[in-house]
Structure 1
Amino acid sequence: MDFRRYWPTAPAWLRRRRATPDPGALTPQPVPDCAFDPRGGPAAEPRTLALLSLIEDVTAADGHRYGAADDSGCEMHCAKIIADDGGGTDKDARYLAVYHSTLRDGQFHVALAVSRDLLDWRRLREFGPGGSQPTIAAVPGGGYLVAWEQEPRNHIALRYFADRTALVGGTPLRSFDARRSLSRCAEGTPNIYAVRLNPDIDRSVIELGGHYWWRCDRDRQLRATLTDFSRWRAAPQPGFDAALLRWGVGGNIGGRDPLEFFGHSYALVEAQHVKGDFGSWRTYVYEYESGLAHPARIRTHGGSSAFANPHVTALTAPDGRRALAVSLFLPGEGAAPGEGGQLLYYRGY
């Protein structure tokens, strides 16, 4: 999302940073201590501090699961969770998740699962080989849109399902595979900002985010529009990149997941401080209105230090309170004993 739409009177220093023409022009450097302290950068709004406090402390979560896996034993990498409003008589149908796992063929497969408690998941189906980094959104009228990063020719793929039955059955009404336009090497990690039907999927506007592999060297942010499920247009988001680069990020700026929190637009986004170092992945909260990013100081029970592939959803918790459901991948290079792999947790507020 281009935050210039929301903050046309940004201060001069930020306008200059936004206008940086080279989204990758930064020498890789060690992770600075200040990168772990929200108070080390621009002051965060009270609502942003409240959001950070909900996300940061896994030890205070109402429920958590390290090494999260579905009932078949497959790890739920990069899980995106949403409310399951169309579950009907399915006793487990309170939440849906899409995620990817490595199967016996050695490839990633995107899968769908259902849960009643946000921690124990029953696998419903998969969507074929070569897919990873999925996301899902409910669409007005009862449909579902699923997007993921697809191989071969690493690109963004979208599948529209007319209803929950079609989703569980794996029978999309429409399919679209985006041709790469910003990188000759890779574009992926999609998120869904908005879906507008005018009045149906064949006359629709879908707003998405993603990354492109800038100069086939480092991931940088993109925003794309899919019109009438047939016309794709993508553009770089240098302002988004700049918000992370100012923290000394020298590697990839990858997956992001948007969130509306008390009427304001945010995203959780991953950034790799040192190129090639999986132990340097960190999670940030990005403010769309200000164009600023604030480090999230994630605290786990064992003291893990690296966090990637963030997802977050505002929903109703199993106990009926409103809550945030958070999903993070903990790389082995920064994971405490027993904490590596996929972490799922939720916290009411």
Structure 2
Amino acid sequence: MSLTVHRRVRTLLFGISFLGGLGSATGVVAAPSDAQRAELRVLIENVTQANARRYGAADSAGRSMDTAKLIKDPAGGYLAAYHTYINGIPRVSVATSSDLINWTFLRELGTYASQPDIRAMPNGSYVLAWEQEPSNHIAFRYYANRGDLLNGVASRSFDTSRTLSSCAEGTPNLYSVQFLPDVDHSTIDVGGHYYWNCDRDRQQLGRLTNFNSWSTSAQNNVDNALLYWGVGGNIGDRDALHYKQNVYGLMEGQYTKNDFGSWRVFIYDHQTGNAEPLNMHTDKGSTAFANPSFTALTAPNGQRAIAVSIFLPSEGAKPGEAGQLIYYRTY
């Protein structure tokens, strides 16, 4: 995203009233962003029409690629950051691919770590954010170059203090990373969830300044966009991208607390503050979807594409489809 888009995302997240955009969600008034949101839905919803797809995605070491975030690799091909549970302990790793489907394990970066996001910076560095245990909180790591990333050597680390929940905060996504001009003079805007009243996950938006100062606030307007649809459980992981002239997000919502089969994915319109559930279609008809992420990038054939990564809980997955689903669609 450009710097303009980065600032726009933060303004929209803080400034949009859900009630002010309700007409678009109910079809009363068409918003300018509606048509492009509809286009994006078509690219995401029907997995069977993807250019390529992989259920139960795992890397070359046989590690499941849970909650993978896919990005373009400046060195060529693609990078993924993801977590894998090994002996009950979540571990964040990175892998590389030439086709977005087959992934080669590169390096483990964190233990008791999960739900990562990754950003490659123009100066050759990398910024990662993930959920760190114990005392579940958002952690940031900065790798000055590719060599440091592959060796697991972070030159900057920052672990946030929980401020909105005494129980847990996590599932970060990097909305924007700005170096002005370097990591010690930087602004990182990040989405996350906090465990509201130690009962249900709700949305937060934070800012890490100069890699040493953290602030965050609850995002009730974003929660309201999913509560409108009857979501009664957690409102958790999310991602965002710039599609054509507008910014859109994917977000998970759980209709019934403690029911993993009730997880669904919603598309969120940052222009209006509205959300609507996606009608996902897999090859065998799985019904539960969680931990969505998506990236606008160039596909292996050189065309523009949306790469999507979604976790399919076993409670709603049809045979052979449980676990991490990775696919992309050109346009």
Paired position in structure 1 for 2:271? 289
Is it true that 1:102 corresponds to 2:107 in the alignment? Answer: no
TM, length-normalised to structure 2: 0.92
Give a deviation string over 1:172-225, Cα, whole Å, max 9, x none.
110000010000000000001111112211111111110000000000000001
Percentage identity across paired residues of the two chains? 52
**Do the aligned partners of 2:251 and 2:292 also contact (CA within 8 Å) in 1?**
yes
Is it true that 1:80 corresponds to 2:69 in the alignment? Answer: yes
**Do the aligned partners of 1:313 and 1:326 also contact (CA within 8 Å) in 2?**
yes
* TM superposition shift of 1:43: 5.6
Tell me, in whole angstroms, the C-alpha distance in 2 between the residues paired with 1:193 and 1:323: 19
Paired position in structure 1 for 2:12? 3
**Do the aligned partners of 2:233 and 2:253 also contact (CA within 8 Å) in 1?**
yes
* TM superposition shift of 1:15: 4.6
TM, length-normalised to structure 1: 0.88
Q: Which moved more, 1:131-140 or 1:232-241?
A: 131-140
Paired position in structure 1 for 2:5? none
Match of 1:47 among 22, 27, 36: 36
List structure 1 runs of 4+ shifted beyond 3 angstroms: 4-7, 38-44
Paired position in structure 1 for 2:258? 276
Paired position in structure 2 for 1:191? 173
Paired position in structure 1 for 2:287? 305
* TM superposition shift of 1:6: 6.2
**Do the aligned partners of 2:13 and 2:222 also contact (CA within 8 Å) in 1?**
no
Tell me, in whole angstroms, the C-alpha distance in 2 between the residues paired with 1:292 and 1:42: 12
- How many residues in Structure 1 have an aligned counterpart in Structure 2? 318
Structure 1 residues 201, 249: closer, same or farther in 2, change over 3 A? same
For structure 1, the 5+ residue unaligned runs are: 18-37, 88-92
Paired position in structure 2 for 1:33? none
Tell me, in whole angstroms, the C-alpha distance in 2 between the residues paired with 1:52 and 1:128: 34
Paired position in structure 2 for 1:20? none
Give a deviation string over 1:33-77, Cα, whole Å, max 9, x none.
xxxxx8889867110000000000000000000000001111100
**Do the aligned partners of 1:6 and 1:289 also contact (CA within 8 Å) in 2?**
no
Q: What are the equivalent positions in structure 2 for 1:177-256 lying under 5 Å apart?
A: 177-256=159-238
Structure 1 residues 339, 16: closer, same or farther in 2, change over 3 A? closer
Structure 1 residues 346, 39: closer, same or farther in 2, change over 3 A? farther
Give a deviation string over 1:142-162, Cα, whole Å, max 9, x none.
211010000011000000111
Paired position in structure 2 for 1:31? none
**Do the aligned partners of 1:223 and 1:236 also contact (CA within 8 Å) in 2?**
yes
Tell me, in whole angstroms, the C-alpha distance in 1 between the residues paired with 2:325 and 2:276: 21
Tell me, in whole angstroms, the C-alpha distance in 2 between the residues paired with 1:345 and 1:16: 31
**Do the aligned partners of 2:138 and 2:160 also contact (CA within 8 Å) in 1?**
yes
Q: Which moved more, 1:137-146 or 1:306-315?
A: 137-146
CA RMSD of aligned residues (A): 1.8
* TM superposition shift of 1:2: 5.1
